[in-house]
Amino acid sequence: MGAEKNIRSKILITGANGQLGRSLQNVAKRYPEYDFHFKTSKELDITSKENINKLFAHEKFDYCINCAAYTAVDKAETDQENAFLVNAEAVKYLSEACKAQNAVLIHISTDFVFDGSKTTPYTEEDTPNPINVYGASKLKGEQYVQDILKNYFIIRTSWVYSEYGNNFVKTMLRLGTERDELNVVNDQIGSPTYAGDLAEAIMKIINLEATNYGIYHYSSEGAISWYDFAKEIFETKGMTIKVNPIPSEAYPTPAKRPAFSVMDLSKFNRFIVIPGWKKGLKNV
């Protein structure tokens, strides 16, 4: 028999098929000392308290990284029940299961908990005030985590993109092959976040066995509009597409978006030096 692997921690990852879940699967290959348990929504329905309790009864986890979320921002406006079920109630069940096992919950949240009325980056101390159902459901999930657990990291992130799933970068590249000219809103300012960098940052927290629990903001460094981001995507890819700046009113959506959702990253920067958004874009 070969020597047994010395496992440092057992880690549950929910939402394994999403952008961050798949990025974590990629990053996990570099961390053989951890025992990863990736669960897709089909393998673990987190909206079922019974399913969660059954899994936790069979396995003792040290960490749970909750990447599962209802992220269809516009659809959430008319599908409130499901948005709150996944983004809030399910988070409550996971929090309760983690508390019973003394597991650390790393929960992924969003810049959309803010209303966008500030003109300087949002800190973790700023009062959330969501302006759409998605943001409200994610805030409710955060509140459950804080009410139930002491050992948690809530990581708010923004404008996530990657090689996987549906995201702005992939949409722009697809549209760029179909059209010569695109209109993109230029009055919503935020920070694109490469999911691969966020996955690395989460593993850094675990690797450090950090215990300074609480809420943290993580995005890639830098603030831009969707219009500027689109231009940079085409430039990086070497595609010649005319991109026209338009106001949000010219492109109405069911859900309101914050006009400014840039986050202050100084608290997270104590763990890791956060790369700029252009570096992540080049990786993709």
Check pLDDT > 70 for residue 26.
yes
For the chain, domain boundaries = 9-162+193-221+262-275
Using one digit for the tens of pLDDT, what is the confidence trace for 193-218?
999 999 999 999 999 999 999 999 99
Task: Kindly report each contact of residues 253-257 with a partner whose C-beta sits within 8 Å and lies 24 or more positions away, as own/partner.
Answer: 253/73, 253/74, 254/74, 254/75, 254/77, 254/78, 255/73, 255/74, 255/76, 255/77, 255/132, 255/133, 255/134, 256/131, 256/132, 257/73, 257/112, 257/116, 257/131, 257/132, 257/188
pTM of the model: 0.95
Using one digit for the tens of pLDDT, what is the confidence trace for 143-172?
999 999 999 999 999 999 999 999 999 999
What is the second-level CATH architecture of the domain 9-162+193-221+262-275?
A: 3-Layer(aba) Sandwich (3.40)
In the predicted model, what is the mean pLDDT of residues 235-242? Answer: 95
pLDDT for res 5: 59
Which residues belong to the active site?
134
Check pLDDT > 60 for residue 3.
no
pLDDT for res 2: 42
